[in-house]
Amino acid sequence: MMSERILSISGLRGVVGNGLTPDYLTRFAAAVGTIADQGTVVLSRDGRGSGRMVRHAVISGLMATGCKVIDADIATTPTCGVLVTHLKAAGGIQITASHNPIPWNGLKPFSPEGSVYNKEQGERLLDVLNNDKFNYVSWDQLGELERYENAAGPHIERVLALIDQAAIQQRKFKVVLDCNHGSGGVATPQLLEALGCEVIVLGGTPDGNFAHTPEPLKENLTTLCEEVVKQGADAGFAQDPDADRLAIVDETGRYIGEELTLALGADYVLARTPGPIVVNGSTSRVTADIAAKYDCPFFRSYVGEAHVCAKMKQEKAIIGGEGNGGVIDPKVGFVRDSFVSMAYVLAGLAASKQTLSAWADSLPQYSIVKNKITCPREKVAEACQALEQHFDSATASSGDGLRLDWEDRWVQVRASNTEPIIRVIAEAPQNDEAQQLCEAAMEIVGSAVA
């Protein structure tokens, strides 16, 4: 059986027992510990049942390299990032496989800045791991293990400082929260209650026994949509298992989705604090329109959280993120954060006194379509060249695959980092236009790589 393990500069994912084994987990943790150089490392996990086994293997690798381990137990990925900076730690590890199915788990390392490893840090980790450059210490220098209680406390404090807490409390919003048995169940209700919300929680026990497919897409959130209507709620929030991404449902039970999570946050923030915004190259252009509305500098990075964070630091962005529901606010941390997203949405509703559906409908309207096609990596350049030649009226941007822009629509093709496929994403004002653009690109790519 082929080992199902994905290793990159961003971290490690694999199927438990088939690629993700205790010995490999310990080696990966020892590589992080070697880079931390006997410093303090924050450790947390997303609630999956396999996380208990993974936790022990990771603690072993970290302590064997002389690191003090601060164990936050079950906590969200952004909470782990916040704790790294709050405790001035040398790094962190979140045990999570994000939205992958139950058999999967993984390790996501954090730098001292509380963000995912950048390219240089990730390459150093791979060098240590693949070339056995571990700095194992002697018996009298082994690291210690310390439990950290109320891990989300510092995280929630930073989020509450972003907004007018009293104004939100006065509205007494009713919110349906779908944690789907992920780590969001630990502290998200605490945050929402601090904002004066009445909270109806779905899947609040963080045991990893997902009630539905974990990625917060429309087809997976029918129960949430129904419950929002049944409860007469003002909003529905859906987190992925490690709670760095957020999808939104309005008061009518309509799935607003992940793309508008960042757009709503940007609309609230830029209206009050104009400044640069950074998104990746696969994110809806609605954010670009919002930046233009407030006369704010707008930048695109390569796809990937590490690339977005690096570009945000370079441009001194005040907000950024990805169109998968991942909002990043440097005042909380350089990590995607569903807590930040919820706070900004509720703050916007409190300030405008309009419904969530009305706010979403007031934003520029686009339809985004995503597809993929099998393609060997060596054929990607040919596919991009064929696409650029066909659509010669578009403005082309290369580097992270190819993105072609027109005045009101765009299409992007880029190779997957983990599969022999090309992802094709198209966006236009109407759904049929986006579908046609995506299908045309798929046909051109398919002919080029046949």
> What gap in Å lies between CA 408 and CA 405, rounded to an integer?
8
Q: Which of 98, 183, 282, 338 is catalytic?
A: 98
Is 98 designated active site? yes
Strand partners, 403: 397, 412
**Region label for 23, one of left (φ > 0), alpha (ψ between -120 and 50) or beta (otherwise):** alpha
Positions marked catalytic: 98
